[in-house]
Structure 1
Amino acid sequence: MFFVGHTKFSVYTHSSGAWRATNGSKFKSQEEYKKYLFSDSRLKPRIDIMLNFSLPQLALAATNHEVIHLISYSELLPEKYEKQLTYAASKYSFLRLDKQKIGSGWRTAEQIAKDFLLASDNPDQSFGIYRLDDDDILPADYFEQLTPYIKDEFVGMQVSLGTGISAIFRDGKFYNARKTYHPMLSIGYTSIHKMDANGEISKLPVAAHNLADRKYPVILDSRKLGYLWTRHTQQDTALGLIDTDDDSLRETLKRHMDRHPAVNDFQELYSSFPILKTRITSAESSNSTYEEMILTPTDLDRSGIRMKPNRIGGRIKITTSMICDLNSVPRNALIKFIFVDKEGRRVEPKFLDQFLKDQPISRSGNPQIGWFRYLSTRPGKNRTLTEFVLPPEIFIGVLSISKWARNETKIMIGSVSVESLAN
């Protein structure tokens, strides 16, 4: 199947309203705008993401497909970045570079497609044109997901893969990974085309990506992960935020993202984005440690569930999600903790009374329970956050979840994550 993609890597278009960085909302002059556009602070994370994550993922996706990916960039781009693009073009055979002179337009995906089709043995085949920003990433099965829709009967439509991942990028790694649902998101948005007998490529009406279904049909397929939406402080969209320093911007990004659930199925994530193995976490900070204790939904039986996390101490956040049946009652399950010292020896619960007395966990008089917290178990979906701070050189040795009052109630644990938060 044939696909053409287009990425604009710091194209100088001051009059454009497509990006916040080009609409005059922050810049008083073209010179001020150009200084920002080609600054190291803006370009370094973008070239890092594109060369080390986006293009390697695209290479995986392109296997068994005819793919041409066009990167347009300005002649004003600093030489060190142009050299990196040139090296990438020599490494990936599907890559084409388009150096744009000031005042001239860039090559279009339609032009690239026409040249390819006129030279091919199948010029009347339908094909897809997709868009990709320089700091976003597509899954390894991206073109496989699109292939069923690249047919003549779908020409004039677009395909949106609505489910994906959003994560914050910092210092070569991704954190705060969230699973998101954004129909008609611009990342990887694909239009379906065909060339007629006169060599003309079919066109779609001009429409903003989030309003496209008002102009033509949009096929929505959200069964698999379809994108990784990278968030970072140097994004052009971040210019619309009030915050100006990087730390404040990151906190604002996190607040915007936290309405989405944290990623807990890393098998699914790594299957779609194998390049990201060991480089992405759901931890809320790039300095935090994060561990998923339950990888698949698990029924909570009478014996409970016992989990042993990697050594974790300091400021701790535990997130538990459950689904309870209609007969469930509040506080019908609890999470229990066994704490250990640096040698791995169990710490008697009462020895922590003074330190933990004002924190949201309690010590039971029942020695079989020790330190614990009740979990939300109302009928339906429940999510409980438990945050507390342990004294130095004290760690969670074991945590367990068990039913409390009504053992006949059906409870399914969806996920349990343990995070050691950076101070």
Structure 2
Amino acid sequence: MIGGAEPHDWVVLKASNTQPVTLELARRWQTSGMLTKKFFGVTRFSLFLPGSAAWKATREGSRQDPDTLHAYLYADERINPRLRIFRDYALPIYAGYAAKHNYTHIVLYSDEMPEKWKAELRAITVLYPFVVLNSEKEHAMSARPIMERKMQEAGAESSAVAWFRVDDDDLLSADYLDQLDRHTTGANRGKGVSFGLGYLGLYADGKFSDYRELHKTMLAQGQAFIGAYDAETRKLSFPKAGNHRISDRITPFIIDSRSPAFLWTQHAGQDTRAAGGDTATVFLEKYKAASASEVGKLFPTLI
């Protein structure tokens, strides 16, 4: 038995975006600690990728020029709020994940980032040793090789592995990883997870306020993917992850909206605002107000 399931329950039919979990591999998991789980969070911290279609910041026509994009990405008024939100509001919550789970948070950044911001990121790794920095260009759009290398360096056993994405200016709830842990099983290998219930919050003048309720699936905040590490082959496999809004067109997804799992920050320096979207205040007015005390129970750094 593997976590209460017979080996045949672990077999996943081969699809275009995943490898099959064979009976042989399931049996290896059974005898080599498959119940051990590893979690990775991934944050792309203002990557310098001129011409990329992945972000509003790089799709904007006026910022196709590398010099213009560089000036926009690394301006004090854009980086300072992100750095403070990530360092002072998000990471203390994620430290709770590391205390309870086998957890590493990978921060992807670009060598083109000004040195003063690199120094701030390095300082974060001193405060939070579970944070790992990486500026390798070849891994800017996929952190899987970095995760695989970490598993290999740790001499990891065969195990279920999940990774999730979260922006530098958003927050995940204190129990987010507990929620993801429930879905991180061999039976769910090859699936994505979208947590559809959360909050919106206004960040202005260095603090959060004006919380709103939000129920929306396939957002980037905490979108996760369940895979596995095979200690024998030393390979890590995950389902494909594309544009977060349509990832369910290439990968089967679990939708879980039972508990709030994220806080989507609204602030003046967002790329959405810069691209001509509604102001943060106008956007928030579209949603039902949420109690600050209720939000604070799941996001203790906001209290």
Q: 1:122 to 1:257 in 2, by over 3 A?
A: same
Do structure 1's residue 131 and structure 2's residue 131 form an aligned pair?
no
Task: State the shift of 1:94 in Å.
Answer: 0.6
Aligned equivalents of 2:266, 2:56: Cα separation in 1: 15
For normalisation by structure 2, the TM-score amounts to 0.82
- The aligned amino acid for 2:299 is F
Gap runs ≥5 in structure 2: 1-36
Question: Where does 1:51-62 land on structure 2 (aligned, <5 Å)?
Answer: 51-62=87-98
Do structure 1's residue 269 and structure 2's residue 303 form an aligned pair?
no
Secondary structure, in 3 states, of the residue corresponding to 2:211? strand
Contact 1:9 1:134 in 2 (8 A): yes
Deviations 1:343-364 (A, max 9, x none): xxxxxxxxxxxxxxxxxxxxxx
Matched residue, 1:116: 150
Aligned equivalents of 2:182, 2:227: Cα separation in 1: 14
Matched residue, 1:75: 111
Contact 1:163 1:222 in 2 (8 A): yes
Do structure 1's residue 45 and structure 2's residue 73 form an aligned pair?
no
Task: State the shift of 1:104 in Å.
Answer: 5.0
Q: 1:98 to 1:81 in 2, by over 3 A?
A: same
- The aligned amino acid for 2:301 is I
Matched residue, 2:50: 14
Deviations 1:122-157 (A, max 9, x none): 521111111111111111111111111110000010
Task: State the shift of 1:29 in Å.
Answer: 2.2
**Higher RCO by CA contacts (8 Å cutoff, separation 6 or greater):** 2
Aligned equivalents of 1:45, 1:156: Cα separation in 2: 35
Secondary structure, in 3 states, of the residue corresponding to 2:92? helix
Greater Cα shift, 10-19 or 211-220: 211-220
Contact 1:4 1:109 in 2 (8 A): no
Task: State the shift of 1:119 in Å.
Answer: 4.4
Task: State the shift of 1:61 in Å.
Answer: 2.8
Give the one of 208, 219, 224 matched to 1:190.
Answer: 224
Task: State the shift of 1:113 in Å.
Answer: 2.6
Pick the structure with more strand per residue. 1
Do structure 1's residue 231 and structure 2's residue 258 form an aligned pair?
no
Aligned equivalents of 2:54, 2:107: Cα separation in 1: 17
Contact 2:98 2:104 in 1 (8 A): no
- The aligned amino acid for 2:104 is I
Aligned equivalents of 1:25, 1:107: Cα separation in 2: 21
Aligned equivalents of 1:225, 1:218: Cα separation in 2: 18
Secondary structure, in 3 states, of the residue corresponding to 1:62? helix
Q: How many residues get paired? A: 266
Aligned equivalents of 1:75, 1:31: Cα separation in 2: 15
Contact 1:4 1:112 in 2 (8 A): no
Question: Where does 1:86-101 land on structure 2 (aligned, <5 Å)?
Answer: 86-100=122-136
Do structure 1's residue 201 and structure 2's residue 236 form an aligned pair?
yes
Pick the structure with more helix per residue. 2
Deviations 1:152-176 (A, max 9, x none): 0000101111111111111111122
Contact 1:19 1:237 in 2 (8 A): no
Structural RMSD (CA): 2.0
Deviations 1:270-290 (A, max 9, x none): 22111100xxxxxxxxxxxxx
Secondary structure, in 3 states, of the residue corresponding to 2:172? coil
Rg: which structure is higher? 1
Secondary structure, in 3 states, of the residue corresponding to 1:126? strand
Do structure 1's residue 142 and structure 2's residue 176 form an aligned pair?
yes
Give the one of 271, 276, 280 matched to 1:253.
Answer: 280
For normalisation by structure 1, the TM-score amounts to 0.59
Runs of 4+ in 1 over 6 A off after TM superposition: none
Aligned equivalents of 1:229, 1:271: Cα separation in 2: 16
Matched residue, 1:172: 206
Aligned equivalents of 2:239, 2:154: Cα separation in 1: 24
Matched residue, 1:163: 197
Q: 1:107 to 1:160 in 2, by over 3 A?
A: closer
- The aligned amino acid for 2:101 is H
Task: State the shift of 1:70 in Å.
Answer: 1.0
Taking only the aligned residue pairs, the percentage that are identical comes to 31
Contact 1:98 1:107 in 2 (8 A): no
Aligned equivalents of 1:80, 1:22: Cα separation in 2: 22
Aligned equivalents of 2:55, 2:224: Cα separation in 1: 20
Aligned equivalents of 1:160, 1:143: Cα separation in 2: 13
Secondary structure, in 3 states, of the residue corresponding to 1:57? helix
